[in-house]
């Protein structure tokens, strides 16, 4: 069986950059590494992602959003994550069930027990072995996200960035609450530092937690 690592955090916390750095260091250590993301990670889930993140879909109600995330996850787990873990790979995933619980539970105020049940239904027996939470102030993360969006050809994937500051504060508080409740699984890293300092901290966690080849 492989090893499943998820990266979590608010918008603009630096997950995508750190996942790429982590993947490189793990490959250099001799691991087979699969990098993926949610929502998305396979063709069907990517189509659902386009719907979920399109800023033009502002009429989407929270329950629709939640069910679409569950549908995308079920396909992603079956098609990508579970097979890779069965083959012994280290799987790095940009967001997973914690994001759904935090964004839709803490952020949207949907029933967290319902979300947990849907997460279990979609993910089955798949659970992260390690979750790296990159934490930074909301104002810092949103400024980074805005800079990223403005550099793109299209601004379609910005629906969550358009949410209120209070929404994003609830999301951050939700992530920290989950980390406090499962300290054995979560490693909280200061995402307010520079890329190199954060990468060094992530590498230290990986060195101590990921089984050696």
Residues comprising the binding site for ATP?
9-16
Dist. CA 91–CA 192, nearest whole Å: 25
Upstream peptide bond of 39 is cis (omega within 30 degrees of 0): yes
Among candidate residues 140, 127, 130, 144, the one with its CA nearest the CA of residue 188: 130
* Residue 25, Cβ density class (10 Å: 0-12 exposed, 13-18 middle, ≥19 buried): middle
Strands of the sheet with 90-94, listed across from one edge: 33-37, 90-94, 3-8, 130-135, 186-190
- Mark the binding-site residues, compressed into ranges: 9-16
Dist. CA 89–CA 39, nearest whole Å: 20
């Amino acid at each position: 069986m492989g090893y499943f690592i998820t990266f979590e955090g608010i918008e603009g916390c630096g997950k995508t950059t750190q996942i790429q750095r982590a993947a490189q260091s793990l490959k250099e250590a001799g691991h087979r590494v699969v990098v993926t993301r949610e929502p998305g990670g396979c063709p069907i889930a990517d189509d659902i992602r386009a719907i979920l993140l399109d800023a033009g879909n502002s009429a989407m109600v929270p329950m629709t959003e939640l069910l679409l995330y569950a549908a995308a996850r079920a396909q992603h787990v079956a098609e990508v994550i579970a097979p890779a873990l069965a083959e012994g790979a280290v799987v790095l995933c940009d967001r997973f069930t914690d994001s759904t619980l935090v964004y839709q539970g803490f952020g949207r105020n949907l029933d967290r027990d319902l979300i947990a049940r849907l997460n279990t239904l979609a993910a089955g027996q798949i659970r992260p072995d390690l979750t790296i939470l990159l934490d930074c102030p909301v104002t810092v993360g949103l400024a980074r996200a805005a800079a990223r969006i403005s550099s793109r050809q299209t601004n379609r994937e910005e629906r969550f960035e358009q949410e209120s500051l209070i929404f994003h504060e609830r999301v951050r508080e939700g992530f920290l609450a989950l980390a406090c409740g499962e300290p054995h699984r979560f490693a909280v890293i200061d995402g307010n530092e520079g890329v190199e300092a954060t990468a060094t901290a992530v590498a230290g966690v990986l060195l101590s937690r990921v089984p050696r080849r």
